Amino acid sequence: MNESFYEGEYFMNFKKLGSNKYKSAFTLAELLVVVAIVGILVAISIPVFTSQRKKAIIATNKANIRAAKAAAIAAMYDDEASLDKASSSTKGAVSYFVYDVKSGSIVTTISSGNYNPTVTYAGKSWTMNELGRQMRSDASAYKICEVVLVYVGNNADDGALIQTAPYYTDDDELGFAKNNPFGPGNGSANAS
C-alpha cells in the first residue's frame, strides 16, 4: 500500500509539478508590468490626496472663521465700548478682535476710531491690515491660520457689519480687495 502510494498518481503529479526549475520565479517582463501598474496607481492617488488635504485645510479655516465671528459677537456684548461703537452711526467707530485659534478665544480687543489700528502679535507690532494680509498669505499657502481677525463696523460703514481676515468667498476662494484683507465687502455678505 505504501509502495503504490509513492508510485501512484499523486506522487507522480507532485514530481511533475516540481520538476520544472525555470518556472519558479517571475520574469522580468512580469515584474516591469507590476511596477508600471503600481506607478500609475501612485500617480493617480497623490493628486487626490493632496486635493483632499487642501479641502480639509480650507474647511478648518472656515470653521475657525465662524468660531471667531461667534466669539467676537460674544466679546462685543461683554464690552460696553465695543457695543456702543457697533450701535453708533458715527463713521469710523469700529472694533477689532483678534481670535487665537489654539486657545479658541479672543486675545485682543481694540475699540477705536481708527480703521487700521496697531496690534502686537507674536512679539511684533502689526497694523490690522498687515496682520490680515499675513493670515491671508498663510491661508493661500494652505496653512491653518493661527489667528483670525474680526472687524465689527456699524451702520455708517459701507461694507458688511462683521468682516474677517482672512475670509473665503462662497466658492471657497480666498477673498481680497485691493490692499484690504478684510471681507466680505459689499454684495457678498453671505460669504464666510
Could you report the per-residue pLDDT of 80-101, keeping only the tens digit for each?
Answer: 776 666 666 667 678 889 999 9
Most confident segment among 14-18, 171-175, 181-185? 171-175
Whether 163 has a pLDDT exceeding 80, the answer reads: yes
CB 152 within 8 A of CB 72: yes
Dist CA 107 CA 113 (whole Å): 20
**pLDDT confidence of residue 82:** 66
Give the side-chain half-sphere CA count within 13 A for 105: 2
Banded pLDDT at 191 (limits 50, 70, 90): very low
Answering whether pTM is above 0.85, one says: no
Average pLDDT estimate for 18-24: 57
Give the side-chain half-sphere CA count within 13 A for 67: 17
Whether 76 has a pLDDT exceeding 80, the answer reads: yes
Domain boundaries, the chain: 43-165
CB 100 within 8 A of CB 151: no
Q: Which three cell numbers stand for residue 184?
A: 466680505
